[in-house]
Amino acid sequence: MKVFLSSDMEGTAGVVDWSQCLAPQPEYQYYRGLLQDEVNAAIDGAMAGGATEVLVNDSHSTMQNLRPDALHGRARYLSGRHKPMYMMQGLDPSFDAVFFVSYHGSMASEASTLSHTYNPRAIARVRLNGIEVGESGINMLVALGHGVPVVLVTGDDTTAEEAARISPAIVPAVVKHSVSRFAAESLHPEEAKALIEDAARRAMEGVGSAALPQITLPATLEVLFLTGDMAEMATWINGVQRVDARTVTMSDDDPIRLFRTFITTVLLTRAIVE
């Protein structure tokens, strides 16, 4: 039983500010430890539920937030920048389950701690087949493409709700309740770890009957940018259509190719963010 674990950081219990999750801010060293503990709790639960192999793909910021020697379960660690499949790098059809750990809500959500959708200075909202999604929903395109179910999401309440829009049976571990984009009521870290471990174990027990992400193909992503310039720039990519001043769409019958087109718009428009 192989588990692919994509770890972000904004969804960790206690995290409410960018200064807590970006190096070299002094607070970061403390909060990265909390993230490590939550990732390990998910690994422990996976192992208790029958997993034999775990690959952790570090997906936050420059993607080097964890200590390899402190990872439980002898997990392999995929880290570092410029990964072509970004938060889903390393997933292939040999895996049995996908975990999203310490994920956060979308830029367009009502309240979610440190909410954003890939780039908060470029992307205001993303819809997948008309459904408002965050990074969880977008990343599920890759899971669908490889035929692997996404069975666990950890983070705040908004994140859990958004993930369930595309994978309704996903097991949530809600470790904090977001009050605003920069405020949350969090479980004690020990409680958060226990909750995540239990949810991960239950998620593994359901893997055999878990459904793939519910995305009808061909699928369409609609992306609202912050400025018209960004939407114009996105149309330089083959297949990206501009529908109004700040909105583009892209459609594909191959979900992985659609994800790659989206990631290319993210990386391209990064050139003109302020």
Sites for Zn ion among residues 23-62 (CB under 5 A): 60
96 near Zn ion, judged by CB under 5 A: no
Q: How far is CA 114 from CA 20, 47, 117, 149, 236, in A?
A: 11, 30, 10, 26, 30
**Quick one: 90 or 206, whose CB is closer to Zn ion?**
90
8 near Zn ion, judged by CB under 5 A: yes
222 is in an annotated binding site: no
Stretch 58-87: interaction string toward Zn ion, x if CB under 5 A:
--x---------------------------
**Quick one: 22 or 194, whose CB is closer to Zn ion?**
22
Catalytic site residue 188? no
* Cβ contacts of 124 within 8 Å, gap of 6 or more: 107, 108, 224, 225, 226, 246
Q: Where are the beta strands (DSSP E) in the chain?
A: 2-7, 53-58, 76-78, 97-103, 123-128, 131-132, 150-156, 171-180, 183-186, 219-225, 241-244, 247-252
188 is in an annotated binding site: no
Residue with the shortest CB distance to Zn ion: 60
Number of residues that bind Zn ion (CB under 5 A): 3
Spatial distance between the Cα atoms of 265 and 224, rounded to a whole number of angstroms: 12
Annotated binding-site ranges for Zn(2+): 8, 10, 60, 104, 135
* Contact footprint for Zn ion (CB under 5 A): 8-9, 60
Kindly list the catalytic residues: 116
